[in-house]
Amino acid sequence: MRKKILILDQNQIKEILPLREIKKVIGRVERAFDSYGRQRVQMPAKNYLYFRKYHGDLRIMPSFAPELDMAGTKIVNVHPKNPEKGLATVMAVIVLNDAKTGLPLALLDGTYITGMRTGAAGGVATKYLSRKNAETLGVAGAGVQALFQIAAICQVRKIKKIFVSDINRKKITWLANQLKPLKIKVQDTSLKEAAGQDILVTVTPSVKPIIKKEWIKPGTHINAIGADAQGKEELDPVILKKGKIFIDDWTQASHSGEINVPFKKGIIREKDIYASLGQVVSGKSAGRRSDKEVTIFDSTGLAIQDLFTAELAYKMALKKKIGKRVDMID
């Protein structure tokens, strides 16, 4: 008996979930964090294969959500030098399986989903951890993920001004053009000015701190996104030590998040972590307690974010009859 698997390419995913509808993904990712905070999912920490000769790595990210009756596995690479070869830095595929039978349901392009769900995670963190009256946003790095972060944050806060810094000015021009359809404007600025806003997002591949402690004002919320592998860091460790740290997952954060280098040096210890974002979303832990606190969300990316987003894309594709269905033998 033959069963069919649905195949969705990147253009089809974009048709189903365009950037202007990132609010839908924010809702799904928020639900994923809630389920994780309530310990209702299975999610081993991501595994890495390091290709040191080529300055890249491959990550395998499985998860299972009983409430969806579905499991998902993402295989994703990060190769910072890929743009020199005309390739994306991050590329991914996601497989969805029916939990009842194990049957593969769908094979999806995961590159765009990774961008959307990471931006959505920044949006969720900003919703729960930034000041409610925050109205300015600074962004360090003008790559692809900056696009998703800005789009998501503008959905959860009334942002009036956006300041972006990048060593490559052409990237800021590209970012500004990408945001025009959303009627979002950005200003080219210095790293110092970007860091001095109500909300700061760091999305660079830096392996040394680029954000100085004296640039951060009281009440700032920081989404630390760029550090996603061993040895990467973007923030002066003093910012972490004096701020209120929220992680997505301890195992991943201590291994490859913003805290990974300070943790290995003994500057940051497990007891310095205030809570996970899942605990905050699920109501098990408080988030921001005052308008003067500096809050930091250390994002490493969770497999359940991919699963909940890919499940949404899969269901929408079935409803809209988008994608190619291929026979599989069971």
Residues acting as catalytic residues? 74
Q: Are strands 221-224 and 244-247 parallel, antiparallel or unpaired?
A: unpaired
What are the backbone angles phi and psi of residue 149, rounded to the nearest 5°?
A: -65, -45
Report the sign of the C-alpha dihedral through residues 125, 129, 132, 137, in that order: negative
81 sits in the region (left: phi over 0; alpha: psi -120 to 50; else beta) called: alpha
CA distance 240 to 202: 14
Long-range contacts of 209-212 (CB under 8 A, 24+ apart): 209/233, 209/234, 209/235, 209/236, 209/237, 210/140, 210/234, 211/140, 211/235, 211/236, 211/239, 212/236
As given in the structure block, the two tokens for residue 97 are 């399986």
Amino acid identity of residue 243, one-letter, is G
CA distance 97 to 243: 40
Can you tell me which residue has the tokens 């202007």?
Answer: 20
Contact 142, 175 (CB under 8 A): yes
As given in the structure block, the two tokens for residue 318 are 């079935």
